[in-house]
Amino acid sequence: MASFQIRKYQDEDSEAVRDTFTMGMSEHVPSSFMHMLKQPPTQMVLMCLFCALITSSKSFLLPILAVTLVLAGARQLVVYMFNKYIDTSLSKDLNNISETYLKQKDSCFWVAEVDGVVVGTVACLPAENAPACLELKRMSVRRSHRRMGIAKALCRIVAEFTRERGFAAVLLVTSVVQTDARKLYEDMGYKKIREFVVPELPAKIMNFTLMEYRLDLQREGKSE
């Protein structure tokens, strides 16, 4: 198994970082679509549509075609939501990482590298609504290099950075569909402190829940 190293971001990493983040986010489209289909309002709409059309047309073909078109539209809604999030993230900070992270106090951005290729990213900065905490952001590992311990190593470097600067805890936000990420965070000692729904309409329709986690560094220190 190839070894990896973690280092601070350099400007020449910009394209690889954007690609890693974009691919990582796009991977969640199928699971988000399935999450949407499992919601009772979605199932009710599909069933009502199917029953109404089969009653009026007395044919299976039209209802099946209509439901298929609705499902295709629903998937495009999911794709739109993720593309919008990716574009917002790129314009907000990933298109200018040095200014957003490296030149700001108590902020940093790291990449994981295998054989000279960037395969993972993570960042942290002061949490907006919790002055005593730093927030872990932009965690992503390429699918081809998972199960190597890269994600855990990236989490640890954020915790070490946070502790060295005297902050009490690390916060992060992840989504209901990122089950592997949530398991990783929980295995590393993060505790879920709240859940909330994204305010945008597509997210409300999908019941796309976000979850905030906290890693208390004092507790972590006692357990080490």
The three-class DSSP label of residue 170 is: strand
**Residue 128 token pair:** 């907006």
Q: What is the rounded average pLDDT of the residues 179-190?
A: 94
**DSSP class of residue 96?**
S
The three-class DSSP label of residue 119 is: strand
User: For tokens 């004092």, what's the residue?
Assistant: 218
User: For tokens 């199917």, what's the residue?
Assistant: 50
Taking only the tens place, the pLDDT of each residue in 31-54 is 999 988 988 888 998 999 989 988
Decide if pLDDT at 224 tops 70.
Answer: no
Helices 150-164 and 179-187, interaxial angle, to 10°? 50
User: For tokens 């957003």, what's the residue?
Assistant: 100
pLDDT of residue 208: 82
Q: What is the rounded average pLDDT of the residues 64-87?
A: 92
How many angstroms separate the CA atoms of 19 and 171, rounded?
25
Q: How many CA atoms lie within 13 A of 84 on its CB side?
A: 10
Taking only the tens place, the pLDDT of each residue in 141-175 is 999 999 999 999 999 999 999 999 999 999 999 99
Taking only the tens place, the pLDDT of each residue in 124-143 is 999 998 989 999 999 999 99
pLDDT of residue 1: 58
pLDDT of residue 199: 74
